[in-house]
Structure 1
Amino acid sequence: MLKKIHYILLTVILLITEIIIALYVHDNFIRPVFGDYLIVFLVYTGIKSVINLKPITAIIITMLFAYFVEIMQYVHIVEKLGYTHNLATRLFLGSSFSWEDMLAYTLGGLTIFYVEYWVIKKLFK
């Protein structure tokens, strides 16, 4: 249970951080790049908060989800569903495909892998 609390707290912190970035940061790096990097951590910690999965399984699910959302942007799913004027949908699904986003998601996934398998194992050996 202690480990779940750790993930729950991280999820809340990351969610608040992402909301602040979405509402108040309008630059060319933090919001479009770092925000996408962090969203992978948010999804991962959210998954680990509610489901007891091995880290690699949770990382794979997280990455597939992130890539799926980006592909939905590529096919303009928000417009096709008629939600272009819905802020929540645009914030959650995004509005435009970007290879840079795919790279940010990939780097986020690799960072999670590194932290889970190398840093934590060395700290708690």
Structure 2
Amino acid sequence: MFQFNKRYFLIAILLFIIEVLIALYVQDAIIRPYVGDFLVVILLYCLLKAFLNISLLPAAISVLLFAYLIEILQYFHLVHRLGLQHSKLATTVIGSSFEWIDLIAYTAGIIFTIIVEKRYRPAVQRSS
């Protein structure tokens, strides 16, 4: 089950750098909240695929359910309940406010990932 995949790992690193740049330098109403959420599920998917030999749909669904769980925990104010509301890192990573549209951004990111994977994966990988 464990298998390092350099390609997915490099994509995950690139997406992580983009996410950090968005968090540090973008203060707008579209890119930071929605593009960041769209990209984060792709990042998590690539990170999962970088270390585990798991097929497309189980990986995509796992990442999507994890993202939904984090968003639901935001609804229940997890950061405040843990006493981490003053931690910039905790509020950035876990988040501090629930928004329905974030669930849509996560879903769109996973749908995009599935489409790209099905379309661009080499034929050899598709058969396995």
TM-score, normalised with respect to structure 1: 0.92
Q: Which amino acid aligns with 2:20?
A: I
Q: Match for residue 6 of structure 2?
A: 5
Runs of 4+ in 1 over 6 A off after TM superposition: none
Q: Which amino acid aligns with 2:58?
A: T
Q: Match for residue 76 of structure 2?
A: 75
Task: Work out the CA distance in 2 between the residues paired with 1:91 and 1:85.
Answer: 11
Task: Work out the CA distance in 2 between the residues paired with 1:108 and 1:121.
Answer: 21
Q: Which amino acid aligns with 1:102?
A: L
Q: Which amino acid aligns with 2:111?
A: L
Q: Match for residue 22 of structure 2?
A: 21
Q: Match for residue 63 of structure 1?
A: 64
Aligned length: 122
Determine whether 1:32 maps to 2:29. Answer: no
Deviation of 1:118 after TM superposition, in Å, equals: 2.6
CA offsets, 1:55-104, max 9 Å, x none?
11110110011000000000001001100011111111111000110000
The answer for unaligned runs of 5 or more in structure 1 is none
- Report % sequence identity: 40
Task: Work out the CA distance in 2 between the residues paired with 1:119 and 1:5.
Answer: 17
Deviation of 1:116 after TM superposition, in Å, equals: 1.0
Deviation of 1:121 after TM superposition, in Å, equals: 5.2
CA offsets, 1:15-43, max 9 Å, x none?
00000000110000000010000001110
The answer for unaligned runs of 5 or more in structure 2 is none
TM-score, normalised with respect to structure 2: 0.90
Q: CA RMSD in A?
A: 1.6
Q: Which structure shows the bigger proportion of residues in helix conformation? A: 1
